[in-house]
Amino acid sequence: MVNLKINGIAVSVPEGSTILQAAKLANIRIPTLCYLKGVQCVGSCRMCLVEATGARGLVAACVYPVSEGMEVRTNTPRVRKSRKTTVELILSTHKKKCLSCVRSMNCELQKLALEYNAEEDRFGTDHDLKPIDDLSPSVVRDNSKCVMCTRCVAACNLQTIGVIGPKNRGYVKVIGSPFDVSLAHTSCVNCGQCVVACPVGALYEKSSVADVWGAIVNPEKHVVFFTAPSIKATLGEAFGLPVGTNVEGKMVSAIKQLGDVKCFNMDIAADLTIMEEANELLKRLMQGGVTPMFTSCCPGWVKFCEHYYPEFLPNLSSCKSPQEMFSAVLKTYYCQKTGIKPEDLYVVSVIPCTAKKFEISRDELGHYTDAAITTRELAKMIKEAGIDFANIPEAEYDKPFGVASGAGAIFGATGGVMEAALRTAAHILGGEGSPIEFKEVRGTRGLKEAEYNIGGGIVKVAVAHGLANARKAIELIKSGEKKYTFVEVMACPGGCINGGGQPYVHDEIRNNIDLKTVRAQALYDHDRESKYRCSHETPAVDMLYKEFFAQPLSKKAHELLHTHYQPREKY
């Protein structure tokens, strides 16, 4: 342990700790901009400069190591002046369209400018408006707002994609893709981790809010929303509620107050996915099909496989994602049941994921989803409608798609799809009394492995979240070192609860709270309290098979609930 003082407060920290880590233990806040826990720590923005004994000049607290007897000052006139100047220099090349910016009132640069009383034009406004890259169906880049923190680059590299990076040097340095091509023309997988890493409004999702409002007020359209499993655990953050608050009832109520719309539960489609996927796995095992089978509910992971490992496309489950399954059900079964023409039904999915915006454009999925909006976009619509979300009474999902299982809810956390599939597979093979919880596949370890005896057979499973861990799993399989039966992959670290479309969270929270764990716990709590714990128990799923699909993997199920994939060039 190393003993030091920060602003006169004695602190003892492990050897190798940084001043920033020591300050946290002393409950002293040091501002940061380029630093983001788990993503990047490079000390390039110079916002975290402090005075420290034994150092020449000011040092960056996020990278400077502590030493025995060190004394640190974080709030001297010299330090404050330096930070203020740094903010003002950043503002001099920043497009200050704050009132209309997607990050207005939730921007790290704006927050720092207010804290340090920065003069936004002290060094003038010396920048050229750069062209906005909005060709991607998912992500928009506005380099005129970029502060060169490179957090987006670090996030992309952590995902082992690396399609963006610094270009040029010095004053003309920008972030972009090789040869100035649009992000849409690279092998970007649209995961959106760059968006949630960006501290300002330089990256954001391509919005569908205007289109959805247009459909709601169109008298010829019947608008239906359905919400992904993780939304209930994250939407509240956009309204100041604690991280991990389950706001399902308030969310449904707020959506219904947007206009004459219906709101359904996508957890139903997650249950439907499990029925198809579990039976597909059993069929492969019994008939000698391609194994290991990979899950296919994450569009970022599917596109990653198409670009980087096309030889494994036969291993992907042919099941569509819950989003695409539910949209297909709505445009067929629901329209037949209600007498609504499919072209008059406007289907809106609320998703935690920017990759879902790309997914709805895929021809092989049938274009059943009309709009996919992120958690952030739904929050924007609720605020625009003047709804008092924190105090709104709760409501229930509309029929005929009402209560889903807890297995469907945990789809939003890494390991959730695997656990839900194991529950149903165990029931099919082992009957009543089969295990309900498979806790070995839970948690935020990058690559989780487990082995189960199900119905007298050994099933070896793996769960990978984050595309670096997906690569690791695939390489283990390619080398023959691992022989899995079933593999779940989620593109985003932590799964959907940490998706690229989730609410913006200030750095102070992200750097001090394990968002992935806290949000996931809300889903596991929901599962534990659910009336139904397994997908095959869900009444709505039973209704769909009895009235429409007949049975899992039927001809109609294959037509509407399954798909195929295509190799893509790697750029």
Which residues belong to the active site? 277, 280, 297, 317, 356, 359, 364, 496
Name 296's Cβ contacts closer than 8 Å, sequence gap at least 6: 277, 302, 316, 317, 318, 319, 320, 321, 565
Q: Is 168 within 8 Å of 180 (Cβ atoms)?
A: no
Q: How far is CA 427 from the centre of its chain?
A: 31
- CB atoms under 10 Å from CB of 522, counted, come to 24
**CA 309, 498, 484, 292 torsion: positive or negative?**
negative
Residue 107 one-letter amino acid: C
- CB atoms under 10 Å from CB of 126, counted, come to 8
| DSSP-based three-state secondary structure for 506 | coil
| Strand boundaries in 134-176, DSSP class E | 139-142, 165-167, 174-176
∠ CA 458-459-462, nearest 5°, is 145
Distance separating alpha carbons of residues 92 and 124, to the nearest angstrom: 6
Helix axes 416-430, 267-287, angle to 10 degrees: 60
Distance separating alpha carbons of residues 477 and 62, to the nearest angstrom: 38
- In angstroms, the first-to-last Cα distance of the chain is 47
Distance separating alpha carbons of residues 297 and 74, to the nearest angstrom: 47
Distance separating alpha carbons of residues 151 and 40, to the nearest angstrom: 6
DSSP assignment, residue 180? G
Distance separating alpha carbons of residues 232 and 529, to the nearest angstrom: 15
